């Protein structure tokens, strides 16, 4: 396989050989989306939200302890897959316009890594503590323990999506500049950015319900971007051996 690269100081694209296995790294983006969808579907079966009472949240978390362990397992998968996808996406954009894409690419990397790191902290770290020890303790002795940690997951996820807005904005602009992905996909990412940013004023639903609505819409758009960009890139690299330019 070969990938396009722009020589520094010129506008001529050159090619470099890359290991054949790299094309399959795009599967990480697809697996990320699937893991998020599965863990979300399983998590919905718990049947609680941020507006429920402390007693209901504490007792429900204890009753669904095993389900939460499964959710945590899928979260581990997405936490590993997204950085791999992010590496491939940065690599693809950088090879089309090395100098012009470097600054935005750095913003995309920083935003994307903080986005997934904070989501992983919430979904793996905090839920892991609940699964392992505190869910039963909170139900039996102190409801406020489980209640506080549960609401904290909303807060951390909301902060994560603020950084996700940086990733979405930078990625969308790079789609327009690089031409390696369909332009409509750039608009999907650009639209997700302000929604993921504005949801923070409602703290993802903890302060105001509009935060949760904006967060859900923005997050779905981000998942669409990740999924379609992964599929398009995987198909183009398999068919022509290099990222294809899309007008």
Q: How does pLDDT run across 203-216, given as a tens digit for each residue?
A: 988 899 999 999 99
pLDDT of the residue at 99: 59
β-bridge partners, 3: 16
pLDDT of the residue at 88: 93
Distances in whole angstroms, Cα of residue 75 to Cα of each of 43, 208, 224, 239: 11, 26, 18, 32
pLDDT of the residue at 97: 60
The answer on pLDDT for 8 being more than 50 is: no
pLDDT of the residue at 95: 73
Q: Which tens digits make up the pLDDT trace of 11-54?
A: 333 334 455 667 788 999 999 999 999 999 998 888 888 888 88
Identify whether the C-beta of residue 72 lies closer than 8 Å to the C-beta of residue 123. Answer: yes
CA-based nearest residue to 6, from 117, 91, 103, 123: 91
Sign of the C-alpha dihedral computed for residues 40, 124, 129 and 207 taken in this order: negative
Percentage of the chain exceeding pLDDT 90: 53
* DSSP 8-class letter at 50: T
Q: Which tens digits make up the pLDDT trace of 151-191?
A: 999 999 999 999 999 999 999 999 998 888 999 999 999 99
Residues 6+ apart with CB under 8 A from 72: 123, 124, 127, 128, 131
Strands annotated E in the chain? 2-6, 13-17
Predicted TM-score (pTM) of the model is 0.85
């Amino acid at each position: 396989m070969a990938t396009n690269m722009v020589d520094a100081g010129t506008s001529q694209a050159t090619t470099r050989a890359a290991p054949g296995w790299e094309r399959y790294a795009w599967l990480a983006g697809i697996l990320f989306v699937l893991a998020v969808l599965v863990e979300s579907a399983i998590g919905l079966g718990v049947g609680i939200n941020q507006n429920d009472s402390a007693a209901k949240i504490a007792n429900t978390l204890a009753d669904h302890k095993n389900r939460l362990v499964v959710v945590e397992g899928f979260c581990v998968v997405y936490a590993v897959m997204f950085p791999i996808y992010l590496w491939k996406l940065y690599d693809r954009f950088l090879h089309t316009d090395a100098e012009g894409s470097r600054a935005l690419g750095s913003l995309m990397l920083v935003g994307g890594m903080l986005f997934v790191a904070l989501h992983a902290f919430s979904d793996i770290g905090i839920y892991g503590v609940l699964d392992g020890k505190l869910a039963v303790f909170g139900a039996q002795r102190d409801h406020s323990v489980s209640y506080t940690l549960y609401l904290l997951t909303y807060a951390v996820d909301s902060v994560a999506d603020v950084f996700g807005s940086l990733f979405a904005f930078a990625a969308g602009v790079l789609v327009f500049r690089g031409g390696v992905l369909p332009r409509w996909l750039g608009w999907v990412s650009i639209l997700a950015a302000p929604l993921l940013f504005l949801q923070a004023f409602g703290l993802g639903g903890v302060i105001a319900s509009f935060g949760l609505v904006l967060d859900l819409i923005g997050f779905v758009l981000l998942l669409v971007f990740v999924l379609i960009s992964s599929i398009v890139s995987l198909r183009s690299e398999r068919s022509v051996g290099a990222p294809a330019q899309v007008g």
